[in-house]
Structure 1
Amino acid sequence: MNVRISAIASVAVSLMTAGCGDGGGVQTASPQQPTLAEMCTTSTMQKAMPTGVTVKDIPNLWTSLPAVFRATKGGVNLLAENALGDGAPAYCLVTGSFVTNSVTGKTANFAAGFPAADKWNGKYLQIGCGGNCGNVGESGAPNPAHLRAGFAVWQTDDGHVDGSIAATGTSLESDSSWAVSSPGVQNTDAVQDYLHRAVHTMAVLGQHATASAYNVQTVKRSYFMGCSDGGREAMVEATKYPLDFDGIVAGAPYNPRKNHPNTMTRALVQLRSTSAQLSGAQMKLVASAMTTACDAADGVTDGLIQNPNACNFNPRKDIPMCAAGAAGSDSCLSSDQIDSVAAIVSAARDQTGSVLAAGWSPGTLADAADTAAFPSQPAAGPDPFGPQPYLTMFNDWAFSNYTLKNIVFNGDPKYDGRTTLGQTFGLSDPADPSTFHVTFPSQTTGAIQNAFLNGTWDDPAALAPFIQKGGKLFMYHGLTDPYLNANNTVTYYENLASAEGGFAALKKNVRLFLAPGMDHCQGGAGPNAFVSQYQQFSPTIPFDPQHDALASLDNWVGTGQAPDSIIATKYTDDDSTKPVSRTMPLCPFPAQAHYSGSGSPADAANWSCADGDNSMLRLGTAGTLAGMQ
């Protein structure tokens, strides 16, 4: 990816609408490359930075990172080989701030990891931030695999500091109070940084600074990798700033106008009454009933469901129901509780009956037990779980409700999550009790759309420039993700295929991989290790095109060879120091992994992805209820 110095030599951060080159740049080696020690000083790094960037210590490095990593002095820290015990080569950590709005002087914070000049591969890698961000290093220290491969790695806090750092000394990422200047008044600068500006600005200046630090004219290629809100950032980059990156990995992309109806439905349907609430054990009962009904449909009973939407699961028929008038228990649900399940797995609709957001797969409820089940009996009023639940928990209400309050309704003191959204529940077919669902009025959906306008990405036409320039997009989503609904990602990809002339044409540039049994960005009962992003939390995997999303993307961009599958690995306890318990190929949608019929289902060698397979398009009752048509 070319980053032309002349394009950003002026105030770099004033180029909010500028791209970063034509993707054809070739990194040119300098005969005088600095040593790592020579590079890793405040003065040297400051000289490499474009106008508007200040190298300095910052207050919001991810709080759980090791002290030896956080010990920057003047914004630099020379990490010795294996300094964190992770096998990483020596590198220079640089922190500081950059101006995002040259008119107001608004800034965001950043951190960057620079390998030694003789180890640098000429490539730039930017990592996205999750939740509502507010910290730097949410994915952990730069991943050893990325540093060994030679990437320069950058991250930003999206232009604000997470309030939970001052309140508890812990980065939680669910604070959204920064979006409000005063009750009812939006902090426009902070919101625009979060939605799009900070990430794009850093893409421009970061590539320039990286080239400058290594005394070359341009970086060779540029990549972005993010999951959750980082996935949203990835998709915004692809659709709003298509020239910024050559290749993008977008995991479980947060879609505000769809995901908030999803998460709020899951909470609001249970707030109807005490009898409508579901315990964690009852959510697991629902998931167990779904597994019983669906597991064998993919040809093998192995605890994983390859296509949950093909399942003929109906809450009214398949969940054990208690006797009429009896309260729910761990072995059966009351009628009101089954209505709650029906609304959760059914599409959220607008007043015309059109689908606003797809329903959840029932299998997500087992993994939502700790996030969507109420931690206590809700109190009366607009804050049923306390005025600042984000300080202690990260669940549907703590994140979604307060994000809506602060970003959509500008911290309006009259906002009440129970009523302000105007939701109603009822049957779409009076003769069919399984059609219990939520309806949101147009003013609510319009308000969400308008508030997140510069941070939305799901218009299929918006990706056309990225595709036309030859960009490559590797999308993935766990099928048991309890935070962000994979069905919304599937719907987008299907719509994208229609806009681009079909799946075969689309897959030349964009591929979606769905992971059975994988939770939100990582973890879960199924094979989930195929993305080397989360240094602190994810198992180590081989950094090659067969096992790692970034390595696969780099190979795709560099050689034109698209990934026909990627091997996902399940380690015992998700700990790569323990034995591998399962491997499985993930297939590019709409293909589904098929078991050969013999050999261990835990071995990827006994599964295959077939060209032209459209098995993931099959729908059963679950898919129909979810609005997947």
Structure 2
Amino acid sequence: MMTFTRGMAAATVLAFGAGLAHAAETEQPVETELAENCAGLVGVAIPAETIGLATSGGEVSTAELVAASGEGFASVPMHCLVGGNIHPHDPDAPDIRFNLALPASWNTKALMLGGGGFNGTTPNITGNLPAGPADQPLPLARGYAVFGSDSGHQANDLGSQDGSFALNEEAARNFGGDALKKTRDAAVFLIQRHYGVEKIDKTYFAGGSTGGREALAAITRWPDDWDGAVAWYPAWNDVAALLFGQRVSRALAEPGAYLDTPERQLIFDAALAACDGLDGVEDGLVSNQTLCNATFDPRTAEFEGKPVLCADGAASNMVCLTDAQVTALETMNTSARFNFPLASGETQYPGYNVWGSDLGITSREAAVQPIITFLALGTTQPKQPIARSTPYISLLLDQWIKYSVTRDPEFDSLTLDPENPGAWAMRISELSTLLDTRVDLAPFAENGGKLLLAHGLSDVLVSTRATQQYYLRLQYEMMPEKVDAFARYYEVPGYGHAISSDFNATWDSLSALENWVEKDEAPENQIVTDTVGVPGRTRPMCDYPAWPRYVGTGDINDAANFVCAN
């Protein structure tokens, strides 16, 4: 096979290997030649020695030329869609299943997409990156070779909440991060072989939630492999986050503590009435979240002249919050302290921004609202057996405790105290070495890597406050000016966990990352756009700890009329 050179790629020659050149010589239709080259990948072996961690090698199982489809910025170009398997070192462990999209017009770069929850399925590699822009081409349409994996296990009908894989140690380690290296190395081998190159120009990672943790883990553990990363709402201190989720789940399981939609709407409205104007304008968003957290108290708050807390803390005929419900909200808002040592060094988790966040207001008519509710408080109270309709974190914790911690599928997960786990403390500490990502990006920065961190202030599944801690620790370890040379952190008012009906964020993070890595143009004047709450509304992306404040005049839906205030 002839070599598909960098020069040819730079000129966007439409070829896999020497496909187009050969087609021109024989007058064979280009698409037929591309299809043959793509199909020729089936059965290609991935040698174990090309993968940096222990495996039994792998192979390509499927490869099909996919015709261009879609219109405008949603268009997907012609590409070779590859499916493959990376075999485990332990014969009892499941394969890592991965997908790789090889565009006909390759830009000499690669992008890995992360997963979500406990993974178990491959990400949509022909789609957008987390919070990706709706007015720019998809990564594949930009010419990226895009890939991702199921992280080393195949989920059952619980999907991303299925934790049963963790009964196998290699599968657990793959989910913890090993699958990132194995998948990356296998994909690089196939990309280089297919395009006939010895090196890929740039390799990036983008992910949110678990995918955000994976982005940080990848650039921390294998800094030489990556040129840049985008990490949205990263569960970087995953065991600490899970322990806090258990604290919340147990609080909501208390008698009378669970909030249904009327109570969720009331606490949202009351917090918004108290905090919306703290940024200079009442626009349905809490931008000065720090001040809101410091001043709003549901026990003394009023809404439309009526107390939020029921008289004497007991239920009444009017919509109000009982003492048990307020206590559950306060548990969500306050930090947890772990009264046992975690090997990762984590000692606490800082709580969620509850005030002004959508906890799953089912009466809202936005098409995305069922997903918001699913990821927030669900529709039923946590109790055994844990149902899919409970808060997302409750079922996730039930699976984690049963399969990762106790390895007893019959264990009553709600009995485990996350701050004082007793006999399970040692196992939880051990798991922290797999799932918690250390704050150590000096090697990545020294190699010229760049990192974009972003998080929605209304996230009640992975806390913005935890990402703040990661960034502040990074500044403490390296000094702020050194961090500023390679990393940025932004917070987005009104944006929840991956989705929102208040401010559904989209941001062209990939272009910002490309410009920083490839042109040495640090991010300036970044803009985030809302696609659901007020479609087309924009806000400035403010370097943390700054937040967007209205200047007092002009269209409140235009970022130009906001400044970043400290």
Q: Taking structure 1 as the reference length, what is the TM-score of the superposition?
A: 0.74
Q: CA deviation at 1:591?
A: 2.2
- State the secondary structure of the residue aligned to 2:466: helix
Q: Per the alignment, do residues 45 and 83 of structure 1 end up closer, same or farther by CA in structure 2, a change over 3 Å counting?
A: farther
Aligned to 1:515: 492
Amino acid at match of 2:447: K
Aligned to 1:454: 434
Match of 1:163 among 156, 168, 185: 156
Aligned to 1:209: 190
- 1:196 matched to 2:182? The reply is no
Q: Per the alignment, do residues 153 and 393 of structure 1 end up closer, same or farther by CA in structure 2, a change over 3 Å counting?
A: farther
Q: Per the alignment, do residues 522 and 272 of structure 1 end up closer, same or farther by CA in structure 2, a change over 3 Å counting?
A: closer
Amino acid at match of 1:451: L
Amino acid at match of 1:528: A
Q: Deviations for 1:207-232, whole angstroms, at most 9, x for unmatched residues? A: 22212111111110000111111111
Amino acid at match of 1:236: A
Q: CA deviation at 1:142?
A: 6.6
Aligned to 2:28: none
Q: CA deviation at 1:393?
A: 6.3
Match of 2:144 among 140, 145, 151: 151
- Kindly indicate whether the alpha-carbon contact (under 8 Å) linking 2:59 and 2:85 is maintained by their aligned counterparts in 1: yes
- State the secondary structure of the residue aligned to 1:474: strand
Aligned to 2:27: none
Q: Per the alignment, do residues 316 and 326 of structure 1 end up closer, same or farther by CA in structure 2, a change over 3 Å counting?
A: closer
- State the secondary structure of the residue aligned to 1:418: helix
Aligned to 1:264: 246
Aligned to 2:79: 91
Match of 2:412 among 403, 413, 416: 416
Match of 1:79 among 61, 66, 69: 66
- Kindly indicate whether the alpha-carbon contact (under 8 Å) linking 1:252 and 1:520 is maintained by their aligned counterparts in 2: yes
Q: Deviations for 1:340-376, whole angstroms, at most 9, x for unmatched residues? A: 2211111112349996111211236523453454634
Aligned to 2:59: 54
Q: Deviations for 1:40-84, whole angstroms, at most 9, x for unmatched residues? A: 43334544854523111xxxxxxxxxxxxxxxxxx1221111169
Aligned to 2:559: 604
Amino acid at match of 1:53: G
Q: CA deviation at 1:153?
A: 0.4
Aligned to 2:470: 492
Aligned to 1:233: 214
Q: Taking structure 2 as the reference length, what is the TM-score of the superposition?
A: 0.82
- Which runs of structure 2 are paired with 1:259-408 in the superposition (5 Å)? 259-273=241-255, 275-311=256-292, 312-318=295-301, 320-324=308-312, 326-327=314-315, 331-351=319-339, 356-363=348-355, 365-369=357-361, 370-371=373-374, 372-373=376-377, 375-376=379-380, 383-385=384-386, 389-390=387-388, 395-408=392-405
Aligned to 2:530: 570
Aligned residue pair count: 504
- Kindly indicate whether the alpha-carbon contact (under 8 Å) linking 1:477 and 1:521 is maintained by their aligned counterparts in 2: no
- State the secondary structure of the residue aligned to 1:522: coil
Aligned identity (percent) is 28
Amino acid at match of 2:175: Y
- Kindly indicate whether the alpha-carbon contact (under 8 Å) linking 2:112 and 2:148 is maintained by their aligned counterparts in 1: yes
Match of 1:129 among 77, 97, 115: 115
- Kindly indicate whether the alpha-carbon contact (under 8 Å) linking 2:253 and 2:381 is maintained by their aligned counterparts in 1: no
Counterpart Cα distance in 2 of 1:339 and 1:292: 21
Aligned to 2:132: none
Aligned to 1:168: none
- Kindly indicate whether the alpha-carbon contact (under 8 Å) linking 1:49 and 1:212 is maintained by their aligned counterparts in 2: no
Structure 2: runs of 5+ lacking an equivalent: 21-30, 49-56, 130-136, 303-307, 362-372
Structure 1: runs of 5+ lacking an equivalent: 1-25, 57-74, 165-170, 181-186, 424-438, 531-547, 575-579, 616-629
- 1:583 matched to 2:548? The reply is no
Q: Per the alignment, do residues 162 and 375 of structure 1 end up closer, same or farther by CA in structure 2, a change over 3 Å counting?
A: same
- Kindly indicate whether the alpha-carbon contact (under 8 Å) linking 1:28 and 1:216 is maintained by their aligned counterparts in 2: no
Q: CA deviation at 1:172?
A: 2.8
Amino acid at match of 1:310: L
Q: Per the alignment, do residues 235 and 487 of structure 1 end up closer, same or farther by CA in structure 2, a change over 3 Å counting?
A: same
Aligned to 1:60: none
Counterpart Cα distance in 2 of 1:268 and 1:527: 30
Amino acid at match of 1:549: S
Aligned to 1:65: none
- Kindly indicate whether the alpha-carbon contact (under 8 Å) linking 2:244 and 2:349 is maintained by their aligned counterparts in 1: yes
Q: CA deviation at 1:130?
A: 0.9
Q: CA deviation at 1:565?
A: 3.7
Q: Per the alignment, do residues 150 and 336 of structure 1 end up closer, same or farther by CA in structure 2, a change over 3 Å counting?
A: same
